[in-house]
């Protein structure tokens, strides 16, 4: 079965194969590091992480996710904090990497920084001026949208409409209201680099074009990002890159994830309805946040709520419960194991992912795997456990020890004391002193510990 992906460019689901059968390339628009990101900003990295895992199974993948470390918002944050711009960028980039890791997002192969690509950015500007697609004016370099016939193709709008419908004050140096900045001047306080047009800094869109070309080549297989980047960011990237590369296709597939909403509106810093990822990670199991982000199809909107997180925790309890019940079941070594990929539910899971990353359906298959893992003979269970783990790995789930899932945050409780109480309760039960046994259970519950009596004795976990 082949991978099929919805391509925003054609508005259809299309079979995907890389242009070079040996090497696939993918670029994801990464964060501007001026502050903490919110959970909505994590949706793309998480869902496309599932795609990255899939592509790596099939191809040699080169995956780039940039960091925008020069931007007006960073300048503002630095000015407010009274520290150098680079400090702000470095701080929030580091937090971003840590938080992504906690969400189980595999690091990209390349993490280019805008400030590390000033030369190729300037070269691209020069190139575009030389070919007549851009012009310098008043210290700026602007892209001349009238010179690119396909402008608006991705976002489905016409240049004429964009010109007619300009809502903002049009800068006097623009030939055309829809023209956008490739390079702009800097004041002495702001970060800047020497250029043929004076000291300045790059516009927002050009960095992605320059970095994608520098690391992945002039034509890339997949370019991904949030649907809110379609216009103008991705439209402008296409214009720049296509014109700078003599009309070559910039990205063959454009993938866009839907927005996270909160309180009925798109989660957005400007609206103010955001949930910081960093803060959520303090309060909830990171894996539950990942599960929640995968619980809807990536192109659909997803409404964020406490209930969604709790539901995700409950579901993971069940999945990890299956693994915990199989803790003493050995997974056969890879070379002795039957082909896990031919396991029915694993095939279903893979098929769901191949079908335009249908993660909700993949999660159904995962639930099925967990159910099956508890059934059957011991030999069946060895296979089922391996299948469950393999299915989880495709989604970046279920990769921690069940004990660490159930005893997460157990620094707050004294494990030795818990064990002592459980032993006391065992003795009370043996003496049929159930009042005492129940009192001990209540005491444990008050500590935030839930217990389960099973055939092999009593086990405990942190209560939800």
Binding to RNA, residues 412-441 (CB under 7 A): 429, 434, 437-438, 441
Q: Is 109 in the site for RNA (CB under 7 A)?
A: no
Report, in angstroms and rounded to the nearest whole number, the Rg of the chain calculated over CA atoms.
26
Per-residue tokens: 412? 């707050």
Q: Is 150 in the site for RNA (CB under 7 A)?
A: no
Q: Among 4, 36, 139, 155, indicate the residue that binds RNA (CB under 7 A).
A: 155
Three-class SS state of 281: helix
Q: Among 90, 351, 367, 447, indicate the residue that binds RNA (CB under 7 A).
A: 367
How far apart are the C-alpha atoms of 269 and 275, rounded to whole Å?
Answer: 9
Distance of CA 193 to CAs 118, 122, 306, Å? 8, 10, 46
Q: Is 397 in the site for RNA (CB under 7 A)?
A: no
287-314: b (≥16 Cβ within 10 Å) or e: bbbbbbbbebbbeeebebeeebbeebbe
Three-class SS state of 70: coil
Q: Which of residues 44-63 bind RNA (CB under 7 A)?
A: 44
Q: Which of residues 240-279 bind RNA (CB under 7 A)?
A: 257-261, 264-270
Q: Is 36 in the site for RNA (CB under 7 A)?
A: no
Q: Which is nearer to RNA, 226 or 391 (CB)?
A: 226
Spatial neighbors of 318 by CB under 8 A, at least 6 apart, are 367, 370
CB of 412 to RNA, least distance (A): 19
Q: Which is nearer to RNA, 58 or 374 (CB)?
A: 374
Q: Among 17, 295, 400, 410, indicate the residue that binds RNA (CB under 7 A).
A: 295
Q: Is 4 in the site for RNA (CB under 7 A)?
A: no
Q: Is 37 in the site for RNA (CB under 7 A)?
A: yes
How far apart are the C-alpha atoms of 444 and 413, rounded to whole Å?
Answer: 10
How far apart are the C-alpha atoms of 324 and 452, rounded to whole Å?
Answer: 12
Q: Which of residues 193-222 bind RNA (CB under 7 A)?
A: 204
Q: Which of residues 10-29 bind RNA (CB under 7 A)?
A: 11, 29
Q: What DSSP state is assigned to residue 38?
A: B
Stretch that binds RNA, among 56-64, 90-98, 188-196, 294-302 (CB under 7 A): 294-302
- Judged by CB under 7 A, how many residues of this single chain contact RNA? 79
Q: Which helix (H) or strand (E) holds 75?
A: helix 72-81
CB of 317 to RNA, least distance (A): 7
Q: Among 314, 393, 401, 415, indicate the residue that binds RNA (CB under 7 A).
A: 314
């Amino acid at each position: 079965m082949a991978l099929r992906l919805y391509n925003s460019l054609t508005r259809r689901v299309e079979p995907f194969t890389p242009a070079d059968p040996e090497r696939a390339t993918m670029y994801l628009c990464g964060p501007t590091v001026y502050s903490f990101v919110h959970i909505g900003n994590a949706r793309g990295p998480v869902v496309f992480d599932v795609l990255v895992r899939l592509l790596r199974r099939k191809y040699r993948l080169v995956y780039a996710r940039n960091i925008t470390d020069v931007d007006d918002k960073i300048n503002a944050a630095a000015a407010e904090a009274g520290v150098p711009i680079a400090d702000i960028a470095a701080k929030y980039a580091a937090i971003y990497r840590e938080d992504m890791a906690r969400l189980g997002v595999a690091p990209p192969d390349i993490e280019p920084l805008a400030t590390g690509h000033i030369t190729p950015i300037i070269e691209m500007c020069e190139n575009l001026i030389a070919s007549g697609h851009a012009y310098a004016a008043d210290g700026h370099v602007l892209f001349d949208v009238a010179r690119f016939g396909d402008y608006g193709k991705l976002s489905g709008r016409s240049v004429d409409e964009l010109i007619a419908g300009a809502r903002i004050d049009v800068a006097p140096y623009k030939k055309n209201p829809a023209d956008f900045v490739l390079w702009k001047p800097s004041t002495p306080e702001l970060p800047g680099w020497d250029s043929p047009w004076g000291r300045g800094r790059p516009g927002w869109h050009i960095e992605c074009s320059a970095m994608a070309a520098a690391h992945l080549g002039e034509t890339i297989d997949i370019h991904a990002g949030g649907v809110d980047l379609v216009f103008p960011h991705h439209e402008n990237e296409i214009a720049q890159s296509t014109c700078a590369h003599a009309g070559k296709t910039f990205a063959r597939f454009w993938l866009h994830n839907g927005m996270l909403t909160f309180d009925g509106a798109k989660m957005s810093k400007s609206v103010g309805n955001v949930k910081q990822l960093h803060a959520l990670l303090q309060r909830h199991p990171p894996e539950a946040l990942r599960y929640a982000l995968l619980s809807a199809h990536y192109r659909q909107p997803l409404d964020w709520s406490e209930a969604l997180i709790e539901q995700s925790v409950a579901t993971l309890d069940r999945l990890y419960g299956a693994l915990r019940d199989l803790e003493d079941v050995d997974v056969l070594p890879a070379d002795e194991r039957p082909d896990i990929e031919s396991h029915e539910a694993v095939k279903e899971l893979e098929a769901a992912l191949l079908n335009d990353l249908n993660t909700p359906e993949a999660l159904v298959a995962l639930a099925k795997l967990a159910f099956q893992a508890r059934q059957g003979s011991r030999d069946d269970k060895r296979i089922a456990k391996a299948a469950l783990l393999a299915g989880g790995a495709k989604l970046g789930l279920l990769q921690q020890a069940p004990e660490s899932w159930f005893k997460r945050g157990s620094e707050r409780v004294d494990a030795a004391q818990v064990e002592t109480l459980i032993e006391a309760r065992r003795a009370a039960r043996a003496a049929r002193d159930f009042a005492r046994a129940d009192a001990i259970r209540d005491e444990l519950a008050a500590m935030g510990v839930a217990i389960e009596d099973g055939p092999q004795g009593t086990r405990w976990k942190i209560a939800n």
